[in-house]
Chains A and B, each alone.
Chain A
Amino acid sequence: MSAAELDLPLDDTPASRFLAWLIGGLVFLAVLACAVAIFSQSAVDRLAERPRIVTVALPAVEDPAEAEAELAQVRSLLEQLPGVAWTALVSKDELDKLVEPWIGRVSPEARAEILLPRLLDVRFQPGVVPDVEDLTRRVRAVAPGAMVEETSPTGGALEEVALRLRWIGGGAGLLVLLVLVVAVVVVTRSSLDLHDETVDLLRLLGAPDRYVARQFELHAMASALRGGSVGFALALATILGLVHLPALWGVRLVPVVPRPLDWILLAIVPVLAALLITLSARLAAVYGLARLR
C-alpha cells in the first residue's frame, strides 16, 4: 500500500518516462544560459563600481595669489562633499601635453605668457555617481565661470560585450524555459489522451477534475525534481570546470569571479523551472480534462 503511488500510471508511457530526461537536458541548458546572463551582469556591476572622475576647469586668473586662494577654496569645497575620495591638481606638464595639439610646441617663455585654465581632478569613492549639474552650481558659487565635466574612463569593449551577453544569456534562458513549458504541456496532453479510460474510471468513482489534474501535477513535479537536479548538477559542474580548470594552464575563460549572489541566482533557475513545470502540467491537465467532458 502506498499513498505516494499515483492513481494514473503516468510512468508507463514513453513520453512520460522521457519527461524527466527532457527536463534534465533543458534545465542544464537554462542554467548555462542564465549563468552567462548572471555573470555578465556581475561584470557590468563591477565595471559600474569603478571610481568615477570629474574634472573641474577653473578659469585662468592672472594674479597668482588670487588664483591660489580660489583653488584652495574650491578644493576645500569639493573635499567636503560626500562621496569625494580626493582631489588632485593636474600638473603643469600634464596640462601642456593636453593643450599641445591645439597650440603646438612653444618655448617656455612663450608658454609662460599663455594663461591656461587650472584643471582639478575629483575622484569619487567606488559606486558613487557624481551629480555634475549640482557640482557645477556649487563650484561656480566659489569660482564663477568654472566648467565641470565627467572624465571617467569608459568600460569600453568589455562593458559592451558584457551587456550584450547579459541579454543573449537571459533571452536564451527564457527561451529554454519556454520550450520546457511547451514540452510539459504536450506530454501532459498526450498522457491524458493515452489514459482516458483510467481518467474515466476516476471520474466514475467521483474524482473531481482537480484530483485528476493533481496526478499530472505530482508526476510533473517528481520528474522536475529528478531531471532538474541532474540537469542543475551537470550545469554546475560545467560552469565550475569552465571557471577553474583553464586556470590550471594559466588561461581565464570566464573573465569574472562569480559572487556568492551569482550562485544563489543560478540555484533559483531549477526551482523556477520546477514551479513552471508543475504549473504547466496542472493547467494543461485542467484544460485537457475540460475537453474530455
Chain B
Amino acid sequence: MSAGSSGAVDEDRSGRAILQLHGVGMRYGSGDEVLRDIDLTINAGTFHYLVGPSGAGKSSLLRVMALSAPPSRGTVVLFGRDVALVDRDELGRLRRRIGVVFQDFRLLDHLSAFDNVALPLRIGGADEEQISAYVSQMLSWLGLAERMEAKPAQLSMGQRQLVSVARAVVTKPDLLLADEPTSNVEPARVERLMFLFSELHRLGTAVVLATHSRELLRRWAFPVLHIERGRLIRPLPTDRAAAE
C-alpha cells in the first residue's frame, strides 16, 4: 500500500497493485467535499485498518473503493482497469472480485440467512451443490448453523452482521472492504471474525477494515490508514493509532 500527496504513506509490499486512487475527491450533491485529494494504492495480499474520527470520510472512501459511489474527481483503477472507462458488464466482473461488509449490513429482508450469503455465489453462476456446501460451511463456522433459515428480522444485530460478513467473504474475494464489521458482534465472535479476515489475508485477499475499535488495533497489528476531514493524513504505527 502507498498513499501519496495527502499522506506520506509508502508501505508498498511486493504484491501488485489491485486498487489505485489518484487525486480522488468526492462530494454528495452540491455539499462540501467529503474526500479530498486521495492518492492511495492497495496491493494484493495486504491488510490495512482505516481509522479516523466519525465523519472523517471512512465510509465514503470505502464506498468509492467498492465502486458504490463514483468520485467527483480523480481516477479509480481497480485490477488494472480505470473504472470510469469500463462498460457495465466489465464493472460487474470487477465488483464480483470485491467483498463488501456494509456498516448497515444491507441484507435482503425477504431472503433467509442462507440465501443472503448465497447471493454473490448465485450471481457468479455457481451451481447449487457448491453453493450449499460453501454457505453451510461458512455459516456453521460463524456459529449460525441453527439460524440458516431465519430471515434477517429474526436475527440479532450481531447475527445480521455475521451474515453480512459471510456474504462478503463467501466468494473468497481479491479485495475485502469492511466497514465496522465487528461493531455489533459479541467479543467471543470478534476473535473468530478477525481470525477469518487474517486467514483471507494470508490466502491473498487484500483487506481494508474501517474501525473505531482500539482493541482491534491493539490485538491484531496491521498497518493503519488514517483519514481526517477527508484526507489521508499519515500512516500511523498500530500502537499509536490505537492510543489515539
Contacts and interface: CB of A to CB of B under 8 A. Distances in A.
A12 B92 contact: no
Given A1-B112, A7-B108, A201-B106, A208 B100 contact: no
A241 to B, nearest CB: 41
B12 interface: no
Interface stretch (B120-128, B152-160, B211-219): B120-128
B118 interface: yes
A209 B87 CA distance: 12
Contact of A205 (B89, B112, B119, B135): B119
Contact of A204 (B95, B108, B109, B124): B95
A204 B67 contact: yes
A30 to B, nearest CB: 32
Contacts of A208: 88-89, 92
A7 B167 CA distance: 14
Contact of A206 (B92, B111, B114, B148): B92
A69 interface: no
Contacts of B119: 7, 202, 205
A145 interface: no
B100 A206 contact: no
A12 B109 CA distance: 11
A113 interface: no
A12 to B, nearest CB: 7
Contacts of B108: 7, 9, 198, 201
Interface residues of A, number: 19
B111 A5 contact: yes
Contacts of A103: none
A164 interface: no
B92 A203 contact: yes
B122 A202 contact: no
Main secondary structure of the interface of A (DSSP, over half): loop
Contacts of A206: 92-98, 120, 123-124
Contacts of A12: 110
B149 interface: yes
Contact of B115 (A2, A203, A207): A2
A112 interface: no
Contacts of A211: 123
Given A1-B149, A2-B115, A204-B100, A209 B110 contact: no
Contacts of B92: 203, 206-208
Nearest to B95: A206
Nearest to A210: B89
Interface in B70-121: 88-89, 92-98, 100, 106, 108-112, 114-115, 118-120
A3 interface: yes
A138 to B, nearest CB: 70
A198 B111 CA distance: 12
Nearest to A211: B123
Contact of A202 (B68, B123, B128): B123
B115 A205 contact: no
B122 A3 contact: yes
Given A203-B92, A206-B96, A208-B92, A1 B110 contact: no
13 contacts: A1-B114, A1-B149, A7-B108, A7-B119, A9-B110, A12-B110, A201-B106, A201-B108, A203-B95, A205-B167, A206-B123, A207-B92, A207-B123
